Structure 1
Amino acid sequence: MANDFWILLAMVIYFAAMLSVGFVYSKRSNSSSTEYFAGGRGVGPWLTALSAEASDMSGWLLMGLPGLAYFTGAADSMWTAIGLALGTYLNWKLVARRLRRYSVVAGDAITIPDFFAKRFHDEKGVISTIAAVIILVFFSVYVGSCFVTVGKLFATLFGFDYHIMMIIGAVVVFVYTVVGGYLSVVMTDFIQGMLMFFALAVVFIGTVASAGGIDNTVEFLRSIPGYLSGTQVAAPKLDPATGQQLVEAGKVVFGAPSDYGIITIISMLAWGLGYFGMPQVLVRFLSIRSVEEVRKSQIIATSWCVISLGCAVCIGLVGRAMMPTELLTSTDAETIFIVLAQTLLPSFMCGVVVSGIFAASMSSSSSYLIIGASAMGENIFRGLLHKKATDRQVMIVARVTLVVMFLFGIVVAFDQNSSIFQVVSYAWAGLGASFGPLMLCSLYWRRANKAGAVAGMLSGTATVLIWHNLVKPLGGVFAIYELLPAFIISLLFIVVVSLLTAQPNERMLYEFDHYMDDPLPGTLPSGTVLVDEPMEAMEAEVRSGK
């Protein structure tokens, strides 16, 4: 009981700190919709990098990924981690700088749907409305996966009722998000990114030391068929009646490993494609203080990602050597990080470390909520329904949207047997395929047009839904992760439909041809003066309304 007190105390202190951040930033964030949704484009490189990664990884990093490694071995988790690390690097390399500049040239866009609409001069709001609906649907599912993490954490640590604790954690996230806006989310994400990194490092080092050293650990894991192979997946033998892994003579039972062919490897690497369409990461590129700071953020973010993913995979693998018979279902395996923290660390330190799981869930769910709210407030309400809406009206609509997403997330999370990894993979595919190809075409292909953008988003979303529910169950080559075929089909639709329809207008082509120039050229073909100063001067012009 005393141990539980110290763990709970550490977590309560953490909760209080996060709520305080929301209230501290509430005054500034409420000054305008640009401040509320994009932090006034004044976020520095460290905040940008760590908030992007913390909001990206969610509780999946500390529970889903280690659990996958624990239950089936290295292959699935390793190839997924490699794909995510590559995707992180390429997203910062190919998208960040260009999107930061183009978002200003394209009418000072402050959300991703807003950017797409202004990039393709969509005055009727068709693109932004479709994008906003896609975000609301998949982010509501995403929020649910974060609430599942919170519920599992408290249920595992204290034996509390899953549903009650899931709701309490969800309320904390909701309060600091609705009060503080984007800046509170960025600040808490920065703190939580550091805490997640610390938690992974501490548990990884403690697990390796307690398992008897690297040599003994590797020897034990090699005794499990296919467990450490990069081309095979270990196959836990399950009891048909209970669904639990069989234990005989004190040892867990594994069957013959299944082959892990090139198609499966490609499928796991395809996770990296999702980054090009992740609004919670892309919006960080919009809000960074200056284009020149993107390079520094890229180094910080990529380093954080590689080290954190590596630690998460290793925690799951070494955890199997240390506790081979404790967690006998894939759902229970997702609590290996918590169980190890309880076993290895003093109570207060355990509370600090497992707060890293809250950090992951809170940072992600708050980002999903604020982006969903911005999609509804800026892109549907002001962009489509009430074009002359004031900032105050937009923020009221946004906060109502937060309430709706919060309640929907709780409904999704009510099934405590939900797999965090599976829920996240579905939403990741939906967002990645809907927006990823369009983002790349928006930044790199001048011939892309409004019709192609609409076709790309709709085909990407539809392919994910159809492939996941109807095609993937067929097995074989069709068992590939739905993000890959959906990404390809979306890209094809953008290209084909754009080529079959009218080319972009003169102003759109001019913006595309010169958005990377510095200083920007001064006159559009129509004779309208754009600006003849460096990027910073142009931002000042846009901000002042000149």
Structure 2
Amino acid sequence: MELKTIGMLAVIAIYLIMMVVIGVIYSKKNNDVSDFYLGGRKLGPLVTAMSAEASDMSSWLLMGLPGVAYLSGVADAGWTAIGLGIGTYLNWLFVAKRLRRYSVKAGNAITIPEFFSNRFRDNSHLLLAISAIWIVIFFVPYTASGFAACGKLFSTLFNIPYLPAMIVSAIVIVVYTALGGFLAASTTDLIQSIVMTIALVIVVFFGVSMAGGLDVVINNAKGLAGYLSLTQIHDQATGTASSYGFLTILSTLAWGLGYFGMPHILLRFMGTEDENKLKLSRRIATIWVIISMFIAIFIGIIGYSISKAGHIPAFTDSSQSETLIIKIAMLLSNHGVIAIIFAGIILAGILACTMSTSDSQLLAASSSVSHNLLHDVLHIELSEKASMLVARITVICIAVIGVFIARDPESSVFAIVSFAWAGFGASFGPIMLFSLFWKRTNRNGALAGMLVGGIMVFVWKYLIKPLGGIWGIYELLPAFLCACIAIVVVSLLTAPPSKEIIEEFESVGK
């Protein structure tokens, strides 16, 4: 093994050891399942902001987004980033404070399914059961995408088989998550957001230098048809551009709607210590998200010039282009000892954005199974010690399923994340907004919206979207709208909420 490889591996190893140590430290602070899944609502404003956004970005930020920009230019990646930036701000502005307050009022709920169930006094537990099932269905492949990103990283870097590399990465994530729970995941997410930021900055400056300067990067991009246009998308195979129409732009912007239904982000709102400091959290989170996404897109543009200069190979499909930052890190490692350390930080950044999402997803999925399904639906009574054990075992079981799904090295990180994002956005987003802001919403309307939203994601993606034309839009937008309609129609056609529910709703305030 070359010296530079050993150096980069050492940096990554130090980083991974830090994450496990944090898990061990926080394992001693989990006295019950409330601590394990929500940290006792003790998150400060900085940790709340950065853990929410780090858990959101995933491997998509450093692998998926630059890869899309590299292949097709700024339109697809750019409108996605704009939609996510708007969604981030609106989620913090409208949902964060009210959900923090309402989740306490509604039986001190510690999970999203529990909040829905308590909010509508659903004694049948159907809402709780279906929302828990949706979480498992959509989070397992989401988690798998993170494992896949780690596997690609180590496989590309050290020329080792993909599957063992992916499994080892998954084990590290599972260890600190299963030990430390929500507080460990949130604290490591803060650290991971810092590592991700440093990695982005290093890649930009080194990438521009290797490409021959900023002018060269811009001129090369201008030479490709539609590459820098927000209304055209570049086709690398033919060298031509096609229209990126209004309907496509609208459906891509709809990525922002997904935020209202992301359990791992919403849990950060519920877990914050002081609701009055959420305004500070909102500012930190929004600024970081917008800057990070647009830097990631610029890295994709820089990558094209680096490959044109012959420093890295040209990529022809998404599974290759998603390794762009890995290739840049390996290129950087050829420039001395300090450069090797910086390259290791870049690679640790890829791990960071992957791990920060995977740990949160594992916790959310685990809480749905062990706390909501076993305890609330099946009424299996366990001691606090046994509940903690079941929670940790559930994390491991879900991770194993994720590893099985991620076994294919050709899977696209962006594609998997896109589908899971749509699933959560459509099944949980509408019901979250209506639960918080429309007091006429009842249990039947919420149940209808949750079912319609989740099912429509599958129907649109696999039955309607393949028809192409005006039907070929991102499945989140039509599924979200259908869920909203279902909530309103069914709520108005069935009995209004009880006086108790209305009074609780009004007591939450603005």
Matched, 1:410 2:403: yes
Task: Name the amino acid aligned to 2:328.
Answer: L
Structure 1 partner of 2:190: 190
| TM-score normalized by the length of structure 2 | 0.96
Q: Deviations over 1:201-225 (max 9, x none)?
A: 1111221233222222111111111
Q: Deviations over 1:502-544 (max 9, x none)?
A: 1000110001112127xxxxxxxxxxxxxxxxxxxxxxxxxxx
Structure 1 partner of 2:3: 2
Task: Name the amino acid aligned to 2:29.
Answer: R
Matched, 1:286 2:270: yes
Structure 1 partner of 2:321: 333
Structure 2 partner of 1:33: 33
Structure 2 partner of 1:256: 240
**Structure 2 counterpart SS, 1:28:** coil
Q: Deviations over 1:400-425 (max 9, x none)?
A: 32122111101110010000000000
Segments ≥4 residues shifted beyond 4 Å = none
Matched, 1:305 2:289: yes
8 Å contact kept, 2:332–2:340:
no
**Structure 1 counterpart SS, 2:391:** helix
**Structure 1 counterpart SS, 2:121:** coil
Structure 1 partner of 2:97: 97
Tell me, in whole angstroms, the C-alpha distance in 1 between the residues paired with 2:281 and 2:319. Answer: 35
Tell me, in whole angstroms, the C-alpha distance in 2 between the residues paired with 1:12 and 1:479. Answer: 44
C-alpha deviation, 1:388, in angstroms: 4.2
> Which of 444, 463, 468 is equivalent to 1:451?
444
**Structure 1 counterpart SS, 2:279:** helix
Tell me, in whole angstroms, the C-alpha distance in 1 between the residues paired with 2:21 and 2:124. Answer: 40
Task: Name the amino acid aligned to 1:393.
Answer: A
C-alpha deviation, 1:387, in angstroms: 6.0
8 Å contact kept, 1:73–1:234:
yes
| TM-score normalized by the length of structure 1 | 0.90
Question: What's the Cα RMSD here?
Answer: 1.1
C-alpha deviation, 1:329, in angstroms: 2.3
- 393 and 124 in structure 1: CA distance in 2 versus 1, 3 angstrom threshold: farther
Task: Name the amino acid aligned to 1:158.
Answer: F
Task: Name the amino acid aligned to 2:271.
Answer: S
8 Å contact kept, 2:20–2:176:
yes
Structure 2 partner of 1:208: 208
> Which of 414, 419, 425 is equivalent to 1:421?
414
Matched, 1:370 2:363: yes
C-alpha deviation, 1:226, in angstroms: 1.1
Task: Name the amino acid aligned to 1:474.
Answer: L
**Structure 1 counterpart SS, 2:28:** helix
Tell me, in whole angstroms, the C-alpha distance in 1 between the residues paired with 2:488 and 2:177. Answer: 38
Tell me, in whole angstroms, the C-alpha distance in 1 between the residues paired with 2:205 and 2:496. Answer: 57
Structure 2 partner of 1:539: none
Structure 1, unpaired ranges of 5+: 238-253, 518-546
Structure 1 partner of 2:306: 322
8 Å contact kept, 2:55–2:265:
yes
Deviates more, 1:47-56 or 1:344-353: 344-353
Q: Percent of pairs identical after alignment?
A: 46
Matched, 1:435 2:435: no
Q: Deviations over 1:51-109 (max 9, x none)?
A: 11111110110000000000111111111111111110010011001000101111111
8 Å contact kept, 2:202–2:342:
no
Task: Give aligned pairs, total.
Answer: 500
Higher helix share: 2
**Structure 1 counterpart SS, 2:209:** helix
Alignment of 1:2-401 (within 5 A): 2-29=3-30, 31-237=31-237, 254-324=238-308, 325-345=313-333, 346-386=339-379, 388-401=381-394
Considering only CA atoms, is the larger Rg found in Structure 1 or Structure 2?
Answer: 1
8 Å contact kept, 1:87–1:273:
yes
Structure 1 partner of 2:336: none
Deviates more, 1:445-454 or 1:207-216: 207-216
